[in-house]
Amino acid sequence: MNPAPITVVGLGPMGRAMAGALLRAGHPVTVWNRTPARADELVLAGATRAAGPADAVTASPLTILSLTDYPAMYDILGGLPAGALAGRDLVNLSSDTPAASRAAAEWAGDRGARFLTGGVMVPAPAIGQPGAHAYYSGPEELFAAHAPALRVIGETRYLGADPGLAQLFYQAQLDVFLTALSALLHATALVTAAGVPASDFLPDAMGMLTGIPDMVGDGASVAAALEAGRHPGDLSTTRMMGATAAHILRTSEESGVDRELPAAVASHYGRAIAAGHGARNWTALYEVIRARPQ
């Protein structure tokens, strides 16, 4: 079967990488971007430039959106003539909240379009490479219909019918990523405030990140402890870790480095200890972090 025609709307680094990979896989690709020059290289590589958003979505049965957020989708598609989206399939791979994804699925459905939500879990240069993967959620038959094309972008991980799930997983993974990046920069600021070059510090700090599973156990074992509410305090207790969290906060304050991140971490430990979890494992922090039943 010939590769299906696909439209890509939004040509930031991610959209350009996806359109390029689809072209290389033999798909006829139509592109549109608010800033037209960002399509130039793709057009040279064989993509068709749509004259506007309406031409873009009617050029292919499937339109992939790669935008900064969901409001950008409404800016682009909200003004289309009535009926332009009817019978079309949309896959939105832009970042936003699960609630925004659910609202968008309804919005698309009201206009006769089918809607799949996605979250790409690798940086743009990794698109189409081994290890690239993305989460999807929405109607299963819609996912199945486009899975062969979506696999060009990366391995597909389908999470279920709820259109909010893909962005929930995306945001939760990015929570880990962005917090770790801020921690890396904060820690670097601590050592550079003492006159130590960043290059003396960062290689070991990167090793700390990759060494975390060896120190705390793999995902399955941590998940089992959290699900069972089992926090035996035989190794790294909340009290011991909380003392260190307070030392990091004090060191930050004494060196004039921003205190917000270590203050938030110290607050988790402080509240867990105040709630009686001091002698339990550090995973007991979960008891103060997680959502309370309403």
Ligand X SMILES: NC(=O)c1ccc[n+]([C@@H]2O[C@H](COP(=O)([O-])OP(=O)(O)OC[C@H]3O[C@@H](n4cnc5c(N)ncnc54)[C@H](OP(=O)(O)O)[C@@H]3O)[C@@H](O)[C@H]2O)c1
Interaction site with ligand X (CB under 6 A):
10-15, 33-35, 38, 66-68, 72, 75-76, 93-95, 120, 123-124
- Taking alpha carbons only, the member of 7, 108, 115 closest to residue 51 is 7
Separation of first and last alpha carbons in the chain: 51
The whole-angstrom separation of Cα 128 and Cα 150 is 10
The whole-angstrom separation of Cα 6 and Cα 15 is 12
Q: Give the nearest residue (CB) to ligand X.
A: 12
Minimum Å gap between C-beta 109 and ligand X is 22
Minimum Å gap between C-beta 115 and ligand X is 16
Q: Which residue, 11 or 116, is less far from ligand X as judged by CB?
A: 11
Classify burial at 126, counting beta carbons within 10 Å of its beta carbon; exposed 0-12, middle 13-18, buried 19 or more: middle
The whole-angstrom separation of Cα 235 and Cα 49 is 60
Going 279 to 280 to 282 to 285, the CA torsion angle's sign is: negative
Single-letter amino acid, residue 194: A
Q: Which residue, 172 or 274, is less far from ligand X as judged by CB?
A: 172
Minimum Å gap between C-beta 73 and ligand X is 8
Q: Which residue, 31 or 257, is less far from ligand X as judged by CB?
A: 31
Which residue bears the tokens 């995973």?
283
Minimum Å gap between C-beta 155 and ligand X is 14
Q: Which residue, 127 or 257, is less far from ligand X as judged by CB?
A: 127
Minimum Å gap between C-beta 135 and ligand X is 11
Q: Which residue, 167 or 188, is less far from ligand X as judged by CB?
A: 167
